Amino acid sequence: MAEKLLVTGGAGYIGSHCVLELIEAGYEPVVIDNFHNAIRGTNGLPESLTRIQEILGRKIEFEEVDLLDQAALDSLFKKHKFSAVMHFAGLKAVGESVQKPLMYYKVNLTGTIQLLEAMNAHGVKKMVFSSSATVYGDPEYLPIDEKHPAGGCTNPYGKTKYFIEEIIKDQCKADEGWSAILLRYFNPVGAHVSGRIGEDPQGPPNNLMPYVSQVAVGRREHLNVFGNDYNTPDGTGVRDYIHIVDLAKGHIAALKKLLSINSSCKVYNLGTGVGYSVLQMVAAMEKASGKKVEYKIAPRREGDIATCYADPTLAKEDLGWKAEYGLDRMCEDLWRWQSLNPTGFSSQP
């Protein structure tokens, strides 16, 4: 009997790729989403899940649920017997979080607390949590390993990730029946090799590579490069980019570990351990697409840091996972998605 899992926010960019990998690995995900960041398809399903069904030739179980609706959560847990929860749901735009901190704290923190309460009430005490390298703040040393101090976040979005980590850790300490794995992502990029699912930001992208690919496809005129006077090889910011499929496979490795342990809360970085600058990423997209990516140098943004990349050793040692795809593959798969879907999921297949 396949393990049944609850996947919150499973219609989003990271969640949808993880749903696909979960099914291919033999798990039975039940996906919930409230369509805040998802495009609604014609059949009532999120378009991302519709396309996964087409890729796999099978149905996905989906329910429209908001984590702020405690009654709906309770009903969901009564209906299904879950082995574990993968928690992706939440608001995720850094800039918006600075402007609307109360909304971010309400949705991300209250939603998670209500989810944990529902899990507790129904005896589901295993969670994989979608955290972020933003919890590390401005790095004190590089590469960043899991022992690096956390909590010096530069924006409310990052703080919600850090606070949720602390809440989960406290719950695991309070109840030895609980176990959790907190995955700190670096910068997910790329798309599934089919080109059918990928990142589809609503409005201006918050992350670099969707912006770069939208310039390449002609959707935007140019990229603003925020600062070229950092202490980096070409003066632009350096980050650790990880292929979305590698990231999704990291969740499968984490889930296998989670299902085999009790009374534990573990933290893992998911990154490649390699940093690339903004201009290196632009050049890689130009190579993959054969298009010129116009850019302009703009002033530094407040809160941005010069360099950030992971030490992913612990995930390799404990989970048997490491990133397989390099920069060329990330950009090739991103360009396939972007060129086949110039306006994202609203594009005609």
Residues tagged active-site? 157
Cis peptide before 143 (omega within 30 of 0): yes
As beta bridge partners, residue 269 has 184
Enter the DSSP assignment of 9: T
β-pairing verdict for 276-277 and 179-185: unpaired
**Spatial separation of the C-alpha atoms in residues 3 and 23, rounded to whole Å:** 10
Q: Are 295 and 203 in contact (CB under 8 A)?
A: no
Q: Are 184 and 269 in contact (CB under 8 A)?
A: yes
Residue 261 CA neighbour count, 13 Å, CB half: 20
Q: Are 225 and 297 in contact (CB under 8 A)?
A: yes
Please state the length of the chain.
349
* DSSP H or E segment with residue 340: helix 327-340
Q: Are 185 and 192 in contact (CB under 8 A)?
A: no
